[in-house]
Amino acid sequence: MEIRPARSYPVPGHPDLESSYQYHPGMPENVILRMSKSSVGDYAFCQQQYFIKRVLGVKEPETEAMIRGSNVHDATEDFYNNLNIEDAVALKKHGYERVLKHFRTFIPDSSPKRGVFELGEQEHLDKLFVAEAKRFMVSNPEYFKPIGNEITLNAVVEIDGQKVHLTGIIDRMFMDEDGAIHLHELKTGVFKDKKSKWESMRKEMAFYVYLLTICDHPKLKGVNTSYWGWDHTGGLLDEYDDRVFRVIETIKSPEIALMKKDISDLIKSHQGYDGSYNGDSFLLKPLGAVPYICEPWCRVKAFCPRYGATAIPWEDE
């Protein structure tokens, strides 16, 4: 791993602006702070990890979980794009097993981008399509497919006196027969049934809800979201279950407020940043939390000056 030089990206729809995760007040006026769902989540998890990954630009080694997740996401996007509802409706009268068999024909054995599946991608997709075949059997077919599939949204907004570029990709957006909008996220890991995990997932979804209200998208700006949810194809931790762990719930106002506070705190950290390798404006969580954050979750701790244990060189891991 290495520290990458500062980078900025063009802001879609704003040809005069660029945005950067490495923003500091000394940057040119046309460069503004960049935020995504993932970067806000990194900051809430550990400010020092955020500083190392986003501000210093240390690129994490690509893990098997990351490769598997990308492959499953790509195949799922293709499934919704290529599924012909009329074909599925014709099979529905023959029962669930025929629908599931048809859905399974959309499970590939390789990715055009990354080659042959070798990390259990097909098992994750099979569990997802089992859940979707069951949903299809009880759904109005007209509303089964998403109205948005991997939607990229952008917004430029001023928060606490700071101009910010918010960007994100919503996995799926569904609409029901009453016109209610549901946002849905796909995860290939296991779900940990604990308060912090529920809160972090809800704050991820809250970011998208907020982004939809202010985005630049001509057809989606101001869309009122009623529901959010997520699938974990790895199931529920500590329980033997070969099903997808699926959550669907009405949006939660407290998590939206918590997410907005994370954004405000992140802005304050950048406003106090001087553009150096010194991340003093990005605080480390209390020492008592370090064992739960650093081990084994952080893959950039070798770069962290506040990590209490001896850093192990990556090549020796």
Lowest mean pLDDT among 36-40, 166-170, 241-245: 241-245
Distance, CA of 213 to CA of 181 (rounded, Å)? 13
Place of tokens 């931790």: 237
Residue 311: pLDDT band (50, 70, 90) is very low
Residue 315 has pLDDT above 60, yes or no: no
pLDDT band at 288 (very low <50, low <70, confident <90, very high): very low
Instruction: Assess whether the previous peptide bond of 305 is cis (omega < 30° from 0).
Output: no
> How far is 82 from 93, CA to CA, in rounded Å?
21
- Give the pairing of strands 110-111 and 115-116: antiparallel
Mean per-residue pLDDT, 123-137: 97
Residue 316 pLDDT: 38
The mean predicted confidence, pLDDT, of the chain is: 90
For 249-280, the pLDDT digits (tens) are: 999 999 999 999 999 999 999 999 999 988 88
pLDDT tens digits along 77-124: 999 999 999 999 999 999 999 999 999 999 999 999 889 999 999 999
Residue 286: band (very low, low, confident or very high) from pLDDT cuts 50, 70, 90? low
- Confidence tier at 159 by pLDDT (50, 70, 90): very high
Q: 39-86, pLDDT tens digit by residue?
A: 999 999 889 889 999 999 988 888 899 999 999 999 999 999 999 999
| Position with higher pLDDT, 286 vs 190 | 190
Describe the crossing of helices 195-214 and 37-45 by its angle, rounded to 10 degrees: 150
Say what the pLDDT of residue 274 is.
93
Q: How many Å apart are CA 302 and CA 186, to the nearest integer?
A: 30
Pure H helices in 58-178: 64-82, 85-92, 96-104, 121-138
> What was the pLDDT predicted at 292?
57
pLDDT at 223: 83
User: Who wins on pLDDT, 1 or 189?
Assistant: 189
